[in-house]
């Protein structure tokens, strides 16, 4: 029996929580770690150190807009928190294989993990921004994936050979990154100030 909820009520609740956190001004990585923590690690404290560590992953990692979406990276970190080893004698392949499974789900859903490419796609839900939608779906995908993983155990030797197929994903290095939202806002403010002068 899986310990991770996958029901319609949970999916609706996680959607509402993610939207509320993002509306407060948290970036994708900050939103997702806050929104998912209590579902995945309810017995562990979400410490200020964890919040600070994950805060730098927003905007395509370190607000570069040119690398992986926080929807993917936070999912990978949370899988590590759940299944990762804590000492050198631990199994270093197990958590990585589980993480690759989630990564593949993410790519199957969105086609890419590149922040700029994801933001450039048209909105799917008219009620929320593209980024908010990606965060909601990432959270739901992770909960669904972990539920299925726990409900239907997979032989470790099979699991270790899971791979991520990135052949259909555009090369991240060839994508011209968007400017971070804060930079765009600052430029608009500067233009407005110049027009008033």
Along the chain (197 residues), what's the average pLDDT of each consecutive run of 10 residues? 77 96 95 96 96 91 84 96 93 94 96 87 87 95 95 92 88 73 74 78
Cβ neighbours around 120 below 10 Å, total? 12
Q: Are 57 and 70 in contact (CB under 8 A)?
A: yes
The residue extents of the domains of the chain are 8-196
Task: Return the pLDDT at 177.
Answer: 74
8 DSSP assignment? H
pTM: 0.86
d(CA 114, CA 59): 10
d(CA 37, CA 190): 39
Task: Return the pLDDT at 62.
Answer: 81
Task: Return the pLDDT at 2.
Answer: 57
Task: Return the pLDDT at 71.
Answer: 94
Task: Return the pLDDT at 1.
Answer: 46
Tokens (6 digits) for 16: 């509402």
């Amino acid at each position: 029996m899986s310990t991770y909820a996958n029901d319609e009520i949970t999916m609706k609740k996680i959607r509402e929580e993610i939207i509320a956190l993002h509306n407060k001004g948290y970036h994708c990585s900050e939103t997702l770690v806050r929104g998912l923590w209590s579902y995945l690690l309810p017995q562990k404290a979400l410490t200020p150190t964890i919040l600070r560590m994950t805060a730098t992953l927003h905007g395509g990692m370190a607000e570069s807009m040119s690398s992986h979406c926080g929807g993917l990276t936070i999912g990978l970190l949370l899988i590590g928190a759940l299944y990762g080893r804590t000492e050198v004698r631990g199994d270093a392949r197990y958590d990585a294989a589980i993480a690759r499974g989630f990564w593949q789900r993410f790519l199957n859903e969105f086609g890419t993990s590149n922040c700029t490419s994801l933001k450039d796609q048209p909105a799917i839900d008219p009620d929320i921004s593209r980024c908010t939608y990606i965060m909601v779906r990432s959270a739901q995908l992770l909960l669904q994936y972990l539920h299925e993983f726990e409900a239907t155990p997979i032989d470790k030797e099979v699991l270790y050979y899971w791979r991520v197929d990135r052949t259909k994903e555009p090369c991240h290095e060839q994508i011209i990154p968007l400017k971070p939202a804060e930079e765009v806002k600052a430029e608009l403010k500067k233009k407005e100030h110049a027009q008033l002068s």
